[in-house]
Amino acid sequence: MAAVEGVRSPAPAWRGGFGRLWTAAVVSRFGDALRGAALPLLAASLTDRPLLIASVTACGYLPWIVFGLLGGAVADRVDQRRAMWTVDAVRGLLVAAFAVVVALGHASIALLIALAFVLTTLQTLFDNASTALLPALVDREALGSANARLMTGQQIAGGLIGAPVVPLLLAAGAAVPFTADAGTFLVAAALVASLRTVAPERGPKPAGSTLRREIAEGLRTLWRDRALRGLCAATALCNIGMGALIATLVVLVTGWLDAGTTGYAAATTAYTVGGLAGGVVNRQVTARLGPMRAVLLAGLVQIGALVVMGGVRSLTAMAAALAVFGFMGMVWNVNTTTLMQQRTPADLLGRVSSAFRTLAVAGAPVGALLGGAVATAWGLNTPALLTAAFFVLSVLALIPARKPDVPVVAPHGDTTTAHVTR
């Protein structure tokens, strides 16, 4: 049925598979946080060349640009549950083997780069399959609440629990965080494998159908839906700005504000807490405004928060702005994902999701380089103002998308009565 503006979406039932998927996502995100914090530290212990250290992080973006569309096409061809647990099992074994190498003292920068590249390449299939699987586990009307609970749980596991645990694990040995990460992959794989879902019915492939043609079909579907096209363009513009902000946030806080590492920790914690609050109240915000207006409001408020970050030289103001920024960022992410799931036929969701993600992620490394150049040329606070400018462009891209010209789709891909967001 069509999504109805102004009606509160029901909460998803924990039974029926959603609870296990939520647990798997949270456990896996905890492991990601351990690995994400430990890899740069390990890289820094192996070399003092900034370019090589940054290359490890860059490999977290590159596979999405190279393989993201392919991952979505494969996700629409296979059993998504099986693809997810298989990918997690393989990633668990790879990270376990890497932990053994680290324990034996044979780690190298080349191996770190290869590991980061392979893990993210596998993630392109996992994430697109996960996005496509969720509508099979919860009622379509509950997708907004389900996405909010998933993202909030992952934020807690990764932001509040995972990162602070890393120093304790590293104290026990350089290989320990990676051993724990391997365990989380295997636990998540077992949880997903235990799900009992009915694979969506897929019609026979047309004669001559190839992965290339199927990828093109996903891109066309994304382009033809005004709402999704606007959301994708807006998210891509935001991510260019986010790349600039994330790459320079540490120097903004420790350099421009002269707040030191303690101030940086306080600022990032404020962002995490804001994101958690956004996940908790997103259901009420969306019920009052509707998903598209909620995304538009999120963008407008984030512009103001970014101006404060780049214009007010105060740690208190920075922390408050980051909390608001994180709050509205969660509202943006939840509603964008939900709209994509609601407006895409089930047999195309993997491809549309991959097209959306690939186009959005592509701007982040460009933004990171741009942020560094702007900070060098005009001051450490200017990347935040640059990010605000990109968010202004993203809001402008959203305005035409407020009145979608394509009807919302039913769970099995049939269209429903057209619903226009006003």
93-104: average pLDDT = 94
Instruction: Say what the pLDDT of residue 104 is.
Output: 92
Instruction: Say what the pLDDT of residue 419 is.
Output: 30
- The chain-wide mean pLDDT, for the chain, equals 83
Q: What is the CATH number of domain 1-196?
A: 1.20.1250.20
Comparing CA positions, the residue from 192, 200, 201, 199 lying closest to residue 17 is 192
| Phi-psi domain of 196 (left: phi exceeds 0; alpha: psi -120 through 50; beta: other) | beta
Model confidence at 208, in pLDDT bands (50, 70, 90)?
low
| Phi-psi domain of 275 (left: phi exceeds 0; alpha: psi -120 through 50; beta: other) | alpha
Model confidence at 7, in pLDDT bands (50, 70, 90)?
very low
DSSP state of 9: P
Instruction: Say what the pLDDT of residue 8 is.
Output: 54
Model confidence at 63, in pLDDT bands (50, 70, 90)?
confident
Instruction: Say what the pLDDT of residue 98 is.
Output: 94
Query: Which segment, 81-95, 257-271, 351-365, 367-381, is predicted with the most confidence on average?
Result: 81-95
Tokens of 23: 């647990």
Domain positions in the chain: 1-196, 211-410
Q: Is 409 helix (H, G, I), strand (E, B) or coil?
A: strand
Instruction: Say what the pLDDT of residue 265 is.
Output: 79
107-124: average pLDDT = 88
Q: What is the CATH number of domain 211-410?
A: 1.20.1250.20
Look-up of token digits 């619903």: 419
Do the domains at 1-196 and 211-410 have one common CATH topology?
yes
Through-space distance between the first and last CA atoms of the chain, rounded to whole angstroms: 18
Instruction: Say what the pLDDT of residue 420 is.
Output: 28
- Whether the pLDDT of residue 183 is over 50: the answer is yes
Instruction: Say what the pLDDT of residue 209 is.
Output: 67
- Whether the pLDDT of residue 277 is over 80: the answer is yes
Instruction: Calculate the CA dihedral of residues 237, 243, 249, 252 and round it to 10 degrees.
Output: -70
81-92: average pLDDT = 92
151-169: average pLDDT = 80
Output 93 or 128, whichever has higher pLDDT. 93
Instruction: Say what the pLDDT of residue 136 is.
Output: 81
Using a pLDDT cut of 90, give the percent of the chain over it: 31
CA separation, residue 239 to residues 367, 389, 391 (Å): 7, 12, 9
Model confidence at 346, in pLDDT bands (50, 70, 90)?
confident
Q: How far apart are CA 128 and CA 73, in angstroms?
A: 9
- Whether the pLDDT of residue 353 is over 60: the answer is yes
92-111: average pLDDT = 92
Residue 228 has φ and ψ, to the nearest 5°, of: -65, -35
Instruction: Say what the pLDDT of residue 141 is.
Output: 81
Tokens of 346: 């089930």
Instruction: Say what the pLDDT of residue 406 is.
Output: 52
Using a pLDDT cut of 70, give the percent of the chain over it: 86
CB of 292 within 8 A of CB of 229?
Answer: no
Question: 340 forms bridges with which residues in the sheet?
Answer: none
CB of 26 within 8 A of CB of 302?
Answer: no
pTM of the model: 0.77
Instruction: Say what the pLDDT of residue 403 is.
Output: 67
- Whether the pLDDT of residue 27 is over 70: the answer is yes
- Whether the pLDDT of residue 123 is over 60: the answer is yes
377-391: average pLDDT = 93
pLDDT tens readout for residues 40-56: 778 778 877 756 766 77
Q: By mean pLDDT, which of 213-217, 230-234, 241-245, 401-405 is the weakest?
A: 401-405
Model confidence at 69, in pLDDT bands (50, 70, 90)?
confident
